[in-house]
Amino acid sequence: MIRQAVLADKPHLLRLWKEGYADTPFNDMEYDDTYVEQMFAALLDNSDVVFARVVEQEGEVVGILIGVVDNNFWGVPIAQAIISYSRQETDKLIRQFTTWAKDKGVKSVTVTTVPGKEKYKQLIETLGFKNSGNIYTKEV
C-alpha cells in the first residue's frame, strides 16, 4: 500500500534513507544522521511543494519516494525526486509523483538513478524518462 508519509514514519524513513545512501556514488562521504533527521522533519512539514510517500507491506514501511517542486535557473517549475527507494511499488510511486508534479504546473520531472541498478533504469525509461547524463563529484 502507498500512502502519504507522516512524521511518525521518520524512524523508518531515516533507516531506508541510510540504506539507500549506501548504494549511491556518495557512499564514501560522511553521512550526518542529525542533518538528515532535520531535513526529513522540514520536508514532511511542507506538503505544498514536497511529495512524500511511503510503501507499506504488512504494516511495515519498506519503501519511500520523496520529491520536491522548485524553479530552475530560468524560473520554470521543475520537480526532482530526491530519493526513490522501494522494494516494491516503484512504478506506482513514480507515476504518482509525475502526476502530482504535473498538477503543480511542473514542466520537467527528474528522478535520481544509481549506477548498477539496471532494472530501475529500465523502468524509468519505460515510463518515458530520458537519460540526461551522470552526476560527478569532487571532494575539496
Q: Is residue 98 within 8 Å of residue 110, measured between CB atoms?
A: no
Q: What is the mean pLDDT of residues 83-99?
A: 82
In a domain, 95, yes or no: yes
In a domain, 47, yes or no: yes
Please tell me the total count of domains within the chain. Answer: 1
- Asked if pLDDT for residue 63 goes beyond 80, the answer is yes
In a domain, 117, yes or no: yes
In a domain, 133, yes or no: no
pLDDT band for position 140 (cuts 50, 70, 90): very low
In a domain, 138, yes or no: no
Q: What is the mean pLDDT of residues 88-105?
A: 88
Residues spanned by the domain of 38: 2-126
CATH code of the domain in which 74 resides:
3.40.630.30
> For the segment 6-37, what is each residue's pLDDT rounded down to a tens digit?
888 888 878 877 777 776 666 777 777 788 78
How many CB atoms are located within 10 Å of the residue 97 CB? 21
Pairing of strands 50-57, 60-71: antiparallel
pTM score of the predicted model: 0.75
Distance CA 108, CA 74 (A): 13
In a domain, 84, yes or no: yes
Choice between 65 and 87, residue whose per-residue pLDDT is larger: 65
> For the segment 37-51, what is each residue's pLDDT rounded down to a tens digit?
887 788 777 777 889
In a domain, 43, yes or no: yes
